[in-house]
Amino acid sequence: MTAVDSRAQGGFVGRPMKRKEDPRLITGRATYVDDIQPVGTLWMAFVRSPEAHARVTSIDTSAALAREDVVAVFTGDDLEGIAAPLPCAWVPPGVEVNAPEHWPLAKGHVAHVGDPVALVIGVDRYSVVDAAEDVVVEYEPLPVVVDPEEALKDEVLVHPGLGSNKVHEWSLGGGDLDAGFAAADVVIERRIVNHRVAGGAIEPRAVLAEERAGHITIWSSTQVPHFLRLFLSILLGLSEERIRVIAPEVGGGFGSKLQIYGEEILCAWAAQRVGRPVKWVETRSEAMMVTHHGRDQIATVRVGAKRDGTVTAFHAKILADFGAYLMLLTPAVPALGAFVMSGCYRFPAVQTDIVGVLTNKFSTDAIRGAGRPEATHMIEVAMDQLAHELGLDPLDVRRRNFIAADDFPHETALGIVYDSGNYQASLAKLLEHLDVAAFRAEQERLRGEGIHRGLGFSTYTEICGLAPSRVVGPGGFGLQTGLWESALVRVHLTGAVTVYTGTSPHGQGHETGFAQIVADRLGCDPEQVEVVHGDTAAGPQGLGTYGSRSLAVGGEAVAKATAKVVEKGKALVAHKLEASPDDIEVRDGRWIVRGSPEQGMTLAEVAGSAYIPEDIPEGMEPGLEETAFYDPNNFVFPFGAHAAIVDVDAETGKVKVVRYLAVDDCGPAINPLLIDGQVHGGIVHSIGQALYEQVIYDEIGQLVTGTFVDYALPTAAEIPSIETDRTETPSPVNSLGVKGIGEAGTIAASAAVANAVIDALRPLGVDYMDMPFTPMRVWNAIQEGQQ
Amino acid sequence: MSSNVPVRLSVNGRVHELDVEPRLLLVHLLRDRLGLTGSHVGCDTTSCGACTVHVDGEAVKSCTVLAVQADGTKVTTIEGLAQGDQLHPLQEAFWEDHGLQCGYCTPGMIMAAADLLARNPDPTEEEIRHGLEGNLCRCTGYHNIVRAVSDAAKHPHAGRIPHPGPTPEGAAIGLELAREGLGA
Ligand code: FES
Ligand code: FES
């Protein structure tokens, strides 16, 4: 374990503190969007296409408009006020992107089930849904394509005007791939399908908009309030300072609320039209249909290796199903995975080739991990497949290829620089909790009893802490933004502290973690530190929460702003106590002169002097608050080693995870309680994908998994307790030494489960199969394996 | 359109008389008419349990009960669980054990857990996991929820839900709990 100086002062950093946000949440006093109801609020409901692909030949709104409880009905023809289609923020330089226009209401053509064709505004939550049913729409169905490989043939076009379904081609590679394969003793190739999933936040999306005298306020269940403000400004032609976006309590996101949705734009637009507040609350059935999906990639992975398991070349060809439209980050998602296609290994040559394709399904975009779960799944499943091919122990093959612990920072063949790591240590720690030899003996014994038990590993690293603007911005990777973060730290006259962060949490616990960081540095109690987020009117420009960035980028911004406050405070204290600022330190809640602790001031006294400036140093401004913008110079690369043990019932095909162990490293812990929580949730999310969850469309583009009955999120009953441990390898990228941990569990776990299932099935003749390991699929695989 | 019908029910110890549409769901009566927004809606198929409340002492999914069906009943919601500043043992334990993240599932999860502990005061991990099968959480992976319920179970009255106020038995339970001290 590494000693960290940030722990020294108040000692709050590193403690498993109970969360400051919880009292309101456990008593039912929190405020989510649907809990807000300005006087006179009207309700919005959508008329959505039941066809996966059609021309809209007529829309008759008269019956709906004739209802007493309806205020207005709008269709795609009414959208003049909306200046541009919905955005896609990735414009990779030098790459041709074939992108359809995506209007918030369809203009004569629908391309997926749920594409909205009209909206109805009415006086009440229930009757507005009835009214939407009174809108009569006639469709002329067009041919449908749902399979991405079929779509690539261009026999059926998702957007006939585009001429092709192929969106783009994009590659990232390094090292000599041909030489790598030429030098290999064996080459394995696997087709690895990573199926489509839903985000599954338990709070569906909700939007409320109110306009007063040209100023508009939007409450949205979003991860990105500032981006939403920007795009509302662009799309509605409204000056940005007149728009206020509030993300109040947000009931989970997992990437599904990292989006600019048509419903958000339309809610604001409709509020302007009707002159009253307008609210829309998504039903779960709508969420399954029109809250973006994730994954949906078909990869062909080729690995070349020496007999001893040393990998000489790794090549992934990915066909990514984007659905019907490109949304905020749709095409960037698989590309993000390409950045870590080396995993935690010293691969001399790596390449990822991506082709994006449109289909008559809803859009895919970032879901927890966004591209990195897919990449890790490919790498870690391939490592096991390779080991089996070579007759080697999968852990030995991993160890043989691990980047050496003393080789950090490490530049991979892709030119990506891993900040820090010690993969050997996390694997060793995992094995302290798991006796593999004993497991193998037990596995053998159980097999005799007809129980097929399997063990699978996943040693991963991932790329997060999005992101250095120069790397990901317009001239680099091509995101049309910087990805820095901001913070403002305000010490009030009484010594109470308010921190404004540009990140926008939705369950992660920033209010607690950030308060710990600030309290240590200012010499106060975290109870005195209020962290404000998710309100564009409250603090500086910010960029939101996603890509495991909040602590590594947002937290570092908080630390930097606090450091500025400390610097000013020290000058003030030095002046008061007639000492040198260099001799002032904050210790045990007091600002003291080093060596003479009897001389000192409390934070309240420092603040008092700053705000009642009878006696402050010449030239110093009154007040005690500072802002910082922090743009990291690199990403951060958390890593770890996971193991899953599963039982497969060969009679029914049912898979149960009986044990799950995770050792993760996200640098020194700010709050271990929060880390464990993120790891647990992330792992179960991924177990869900591996075993239960799949978004399914039938061949005519109808959504089969339209509710929580058909789309099976894991429940407590299917999941074991998760055994967690940590190593702490600081990152040199930020002063806190921290790395993100929100997505790591999801990135790591599906491969561990897959390898465990395959390990269990090998004696039954199954050497490889794709997720999801549902009873039917596993049973079928076993039947085929036995033939 | 059918005309409204009168409903009389006691919620967290207060009696309410309202005229409601026959199709109004109990969850919307609580949220939109009484301003008790702690019960949440996460689905439309009775799958997620975010809306769980107690009706006459039993956990029900309030998205699946019509307000008119609750006529004459005593309803307890998450807002009725703490006695003043004194949290219920389950609330304490969820807080202590980090049994929540975004908090959206939490009120329903706590109400379901209270029902579980009322029926089985000393559940095994397996029993807790099965007892909460009707409540979905996407954030926590259930690990800390299970821990919280198991910790709360150590408290003698964790399964008891007070229904204080005008009903005599509710007031009695409330008082008793207050006397015992609820700190988990
Ligand atoms: S809202 Fe009641 S069960 Fe989901
Ligand atoms: S805490 Fe977010 S759904 Fe349970």
CATH for A230: 3.90.1170.50
A511 falls within a domain: yes
A779 falls within a domain: yes
- Of A630, A665, A699, at which residue does a domain stop? A630
Residues of chain B with pLDDT under 70: 1-2, 162-184
Q: Is B4 on the interface with A (CB under 8 A)?
A: no
Average pLDDT score over residue span A216-222:
98
Please indicate, yes or no, whether residues A126 and A261 belong to a single structural domain of this protein. yes
Phi, psi of A398 (to 5 degrees): -65, -50
Please indicate, yes or no, whether residues A455 and A498 belong to a single structural domain of this protein. no
Q: Is B42 in the pocket of ligand 1 (CB under 6 A)?
A: yes
On the question of pLDDT at A504 being above 80, the answer is yes
Residue B4, pLDDT score? 96
How many percent of chain A have pLDDT more than 90?
A: 97
CATH tag, B89-153? 1.10.150.120
How near does any CA of chain B get to the CA of A779, in Å?
25
A667: left (phi over 0), alpha (psi -120 to 50) or beta: left
Q: How far apart are CA A15 and CA A513, in angstroms?
A: 10
Q: How far apart are CA A774 and CA A757, in angstroms?
A: 11
Q: Is A537 in the pocket of ligand 2 (CB under 6 A)?
A: no
Please indicate, yes or no, whether residues A280 and A367 belong to a single structural domain of this protein. no
- Distant-in-sequence, close-in-space partners of A588: CB < 8 Å, separation ≥ 6: A10, A523
On the question of pLDDT at A122 being above 90, the answer is yes
DSSP lists the bridge partners of residue A220 as: A207
Give the number of other Cβ atoms within 10 Å of residue B19's Cβ: 11
A45 falls within a domain: yes
- The domain that holds A389 is classified in CATH as 3.30.365.10
- Of A598, A630, A662, at which residue does a domain stop? A630
On the question of pLDDT at A284 being above 60, the answer is yes
Please indicate, yes or no, whether residues A434 and A501 belong to a single structural domain of this protein. no
- Asked if B37 lies within 8 A of A204 by C-beta distance, the reply is no
Which of A19, A26, A202 for a ligand 2 pocket mutation test, highest count of atoms within 8 Å of Cβ?
A202
Q: Is B79 on the interface with A (CB under 8 A)?
A: yes
The number of C-beta contacts closer than 8 angstroms across A and B is: 184
CA torsion sign for A375, A381, A385, A391 is: positive
Instruction: Output B168 or A672, whichever has higher pLDDT.
Output: A672
Q: How far apart are CA A244 and CA A246, in angstroms?
A: 7
Residue B63, pLDDT score? 98
Residue A9 pLDDT level (bands cut at 50, 70, 90): low
On the question of pLDDT at A695 being above 60, the answer is yes
A29, A202, A673 ranked by CB distance to B98: nearest: A673
Domain that holds residue A511: 484-630
Residue A3, pLDDT score? 35
The answer as to CATH 1.20.1050.10 being correct for domain B5-80+162-179 is no
A3 falls within a domain: no
How near does any CA of chain A get to the CA of B169, in Å?
23
Residue of chain A minimizing CA distance to B47: A708
Residue B2, pLDDT score? 62
DSSP lists the bridge partners of residue B117 as: none
Q: How far is CA A222 from the centre of its chain?
A: 12
**Residue of A737, A712, A676, A765 lying closest to A200 (CA atoms):** A712
What is the residue with the minimal CA distance to atom 1 of ligand 1? Answer: B41
On the question of pLDDT at A645 being above 60, the answer is yes
A170 falls within a domain: no
A536 falls within a domain: yes
Q: Is B141 in the pocket of ligand 2 (CB under 6 A)?
A: no
Do residues A250 and A205 make contact, with C-beta atoms less than 8 angstroms apart? no
Please indicate, yes or no, whether residues A431 and A523 belong to a single structural domain of this protein. no
Q: Which atom of ligand 1 is nearest to the CA of B43?
A: 4
A395 falls within a domain: yes
Residue B179, pLDDT score? 54
Q: Which of residues 656-675 of A touch B (CB under 8 A)?
A: 673-674
Average pLDDT score over residue span A688-696:
98
Q: Please tell me the total count of domains within chain A.
A: 3
Q: Which of residues 31-70 of B touch A (CB under 8 A)?
A: 31-32, 36-45, 47-48, 50
Q: For the purposes of burial, counting CB atoms within 10 Å of the CB of A656, is it exposed (0-12), middle (13-18) or buried (19 or more)?
A: middle
Q: Is A677 in the pocket of ligand 2 (CB under 6 A)?
A: no
- Asked if A28 lies within 8 A of B77 by C-beta distance, the reply is yes
Residue of chain B minimizing CA distance to A67: B1
Domain boundaries, given as residue ranges, for chain B: 5-80+162-179, 89-153
- Asked if A677 lies within 8 A of B101 by C-beta distance, the reply is yes
Q: Give Cα separations from A137 to A63, A126, A129 (angstroms).
A: 12, 21, 15
Residue B136: CA count within 13 A, CB half-sphere: 23
Please indicate, yes or no, whether residues A451 and A586 belong to a single structural domain of this protein. no
Residue B183, pLDDT score? 37
On the question of pLDDT at A607 being above 80, the answer is yes
Q: How far apart are CA A256 and CA A386, in angstroms?
A: 34
Q: Give Cα separations from B143 to A481, A682, A707 (angstroms).
A: 37, 12, 25
- Asked if A202 lies within 8 A of B96 by C-beta distance, the reply is no
Please indicate, yes or no, whether residues A219 and A246 belong to a single structural domain of this protein. yes
- Asked if B144 lies within 8 A of A683 by C-beta distance, the reply is no
Which of B26, B63, B109, B137 for a ligand 1 pocket mutation test, highest count of atoms within 8 Å of Cβ?
B63
Q: Is B102 in the pocket of ligand 2 (CB under 6 A)?
A: yes
Please indicate, yes or no, whether residues A393 and A309 belong to a single structural domain of this protein. yes
- Of A630, A664, A680, at which residue does a domain stop? A630
How near does any CA of chain B get to the CA of A23, in Å?
8
Q: DSSP for A359-407? A: -SSPPB---TTTTHHHHHHHHHHHHHHHHHHHT--HHHHHHHHBPPTTS
Residue A610, pLDDT score? 97
Residue B165, pLDDT score? 42
CA of B47 to the centre of ligand 1 (A): 6
CA of B105 to the centre of ligand 2 (A): 5
CA of B137 to the centre of ligand 2 (A): 5
Please indicate, yes or no, whether residues A425 and A363 belong to a single structural domain of this protein. yes
For residue B140, the ligand closest to its alpha carbon is 2
Q: Which of residues 115-174 of B touch A (CB under 8 A)?
A: 125, 128-130, 132-146
Residue A459, pLDDT score? 98
CA of B51 to the centre of ligand 1 (A): 5
Please indicate, yes or no, whether residues A674 and A773 belong to a single structural domain of this protein. yes
Please indicate, yes or no, whether residues A622 and A528 belong to a single structural domain of this protein. yes
Contacts of B128 in chain A (CB under 8 A): 716
On average, the pLDDT of chain A sits at 96
Average pLDDT score over residue span A34-43:
98
Tokens standing for A717? 């009953």
A175 falls within a domain: no
Residue of chain A minimizing CA distance to B91: A26
Q: Which of A25, A202, A710, A725 to mutate to test the interface with B (most CBs of B within 10 A)?
A: A202
CA torsion sign for A218, A221, A227, A231 is: negative
Average pLDDT score over residue span A196-217:
97
Per-residue pLDDT tens over the stretch A510-558:
999 999 999 999 999 999 999 999 999 999 999 999 999 999 999 999 9
The length of chain A is 787
Do residues A255 and A536 make contact, with C-beta atoms less than 8 angstroms apart? no
Average pLDDT score over residue span A266-271:
98
Average pLDDT score over residue span A322-349:
98
Q: Is B104 in the pocket of ligand 2 (CB under 6 A)?
A: yes
Per-residue pLDDT tens over the stretch B124-164:
999 999 999 999 999 999 999 999 999 999 988 787 776 54
- Asked if A722 lies within 8 A of B141 by C-beta distance, the reply is yes
Please indicate, yes or no, whether residues A520 and A456 belong to a single structural domain of this protein. no
What is the residue with the minimal CA distance to atom 4 of ligand 2? Answer: B137
Q: What angle do CA A343, A746, A421 make, to 5 degrees?
A: 40
Q: How far apart are CA A585 and CA A604, in angstroms?
A: 16
Q: Which of residues 102-131 of A touch B (CB under 8 A)?
A: 125-126
Helix (H, G, I), strand (E, B) or coil at B183: coil
Q: Is A257 on the interface with B (CB under 8 A)?
A: no
Residue of chain A minimizing CA distance to B21: A126
A40: left (phi over 0), alpha (psi -120 to 50) or beta: left
Q: Is A202 in the pocket of ligand 2 (CB under 6 A)?
A: yes
Under DSSP, the state recorded for B31 is I
